[in-house]
Amino acid sequence: MKKIVVYWSGTGNTQEIAEKIANDLNVSAFSVSQITPQDALENDLIIFGCPAMGNEELEDSEFLPFYQEVLSQIGDKKVALFGSYGWGDGEWMRNWEQEVGQNLVTNGLIVNGGLAELDLASYDEFISKLN
Q: How many residues does the chain have?
A: 131
Partners of residue 65 on adjacent β-strands: none
Residues 29-45: pLDDT tens digits? 999 999 999 999 999 99
- pLDDT band at residue 64 using 50, 70 and 90 as cut-offs: very high
pTM value? 0.96
Partners of residue 81 on adjacent β-strands: 48
DSSP string, 27-79: --EEEGGGS-HHHHTTSSEEEEE---BTTTB--TTTHHHHHHHHHHT-TT-EE
Residues 94-122: pLDDT tens digits? 999 999 999 999 999 999 999 999 999 99
| CA dist., res. 89 & res. 27, Å (int) | 30
